[in-house]
Amino acid sequence: MVTADTDPKRCPLCGQPNNCRAETDPDNCWCHRVRVPQELIDLVPVEQQRQACICLNCIESYNDNQSAFKLSLRTE
């Protein structure tokens, strides 16, 4: 169930387009080939978890430097 605050086309962390095509072209979407760390999913508000894909930029930023990524979320 998608909540009123959840846009399935936007990253729940940064609000930018997530470029997910899972609903329209599931076999070719990037989100099926990328591992999203559970720790990153845990940063998404509970009511929005698994409602929209976290964007590739957030996943890569988190994997590059978890501490800096978490700090960036607090300052936005």
Q: What is the pLDDT of residue 76?
A: 58
Q: Which domain holds residue 41?
A: 1-76
Contact 12, 51 (CB under 8 A): yes
Look up the pTM and report it.
Answer: 0.83
Number of domains in the chain: 1
The per-residue pLDDT string of the chain (76 residues; one tens digit each, 9 = 90 and over) reads 344 567 889 999 999 999 988 888 878 888 888 999 999 999 999 988 888 999 999 999 999 999 999 998 876 5
What per-residue confidence (pLDDT) applies to 75? 65
